[in-house]
A and B are shown apart, each in its own frame.
Chain A
Amino acid sequence: DAGITQSPRHKVTETGTPVTLRCHQTENHRYMYWYRQDPGHGLRLIHYSYGVKDTDKGEVSDGYSVSRSKTEDFLLTLESATSSQTSVYFCAISEQLGADSPLHFGNGTRLTVT
């Protein structure tokens, strides 16, 4: 397994509270991604990073922000959690962009917003 650790693995929080999910990698890969997984929707890209302090939006970025201060860490923040953000969140990494560099996923964080 690729060296990706997501924390926490499970979290329950209340509507309106801030939440930060952490992804830590030991592979020294340049590219890191946050996806959310919902039934029937597969995995949808929230944000991704192409280097320290370099990030960009994915297809479902509203309500989320990210930060990457070190190569190994990529944080996903929900500034004010809503019930629609109840989901399983996956971090992924890749060495390069493009077809020769597949994504490797962590084991996910299950977030429940009550």
Chain B
Amino acid sequence: GENVEQHPSTLSVQEGDSAVIKCTYSDSASNYFPWYKQELGKGPQLIIDIRSNVGEKKDQRIAVTLNKTAKHFSLHITETQPEDSAVYFCAARTAAGNKLTFGGGTRVLVKP
């Protein structure tokens, strides 16, 4: 089955700096890659996603890039703010679509 590896497990950045989280996946049939943000005491919330026919997608301060050949994708957060502090999860889903496989999560701390 699909295996998703996520790095780093923790990330501390200064407010205003950029943060990058990287994920690799094993199943070349995977075609959908969402990113979720989880705040303390809450469930994960979708913040951005990308499909395999697109190499990059941006939404204000966040962007996701996908390299299908290398089977890895990354989340980029620019101009980080304290409210970006949370746990972020990447995930991958195959064309069959019934199972989303998650990475282990990255705890991001933005220091004011």
Contacts and interface: CB of A to CB of B under 8 A. Distances in A.
Interface of A: 4, 40-45, 48, 50, 56, 58-59, 90, 92, 97-99, 102-108
Contact of B45 (A43, A59, A97, A105): A105
A42 B98 contact: no
Interface in B91-112: 91, 93, 95-100, 102-105
Given A42-B6, A58-B99, 8 more contacts: A40-B9, A50-B98, A59-B99, A98-B93, A102-B46, A103-B46, A103-B100, A108-B41
Interface of B: 1, 4, 6, 9, 31-32, 34, 36, 41-46, 49, 51, 89, 91, 93, 95-100, 102-105
Nearest to A88: B43
Nearest to A102: B46
A104 B36 CA distance: 10
B42 A43 contact: no
Contacts of B104: 40-42
B102 A44 contact: yes
B55 to A, nearest CB: 16
A108 B43 contact: yes
A107 B38 CA distance: 10
B44 A99 contact: no
A42 B43 contact: no
Contacts of A44: 102
Nearest to A97: B97
Nearest to A56: B98
10 closest pairs, A vs B, by CB? A105-B43, A99-B32, A42-B102, A98-B97, A97-B97, A43-B102, A42-B104, A107-B43, A102-B46, A105-B44
Contact of A90 (B6, B9, B43, B51): B43
B41 to A, nearest CB: 7
Contacts of A90: 43-44
A41 B44 CA distance: 14
25 contacts: A40-B104, A41-B104, A43-B44, A43-B89, A44-B102, A45-B99, A56-B98, A58-B99, A59-B1, A92-B43, A97-B98, A98-B95, A98-B97, A99-B31, A99-B32, A99-B97, A102-B49, A103-B46, A103-B100, A104-B46, A105-B43, A105-B44, A107-B41, A107-B42, A108-B42
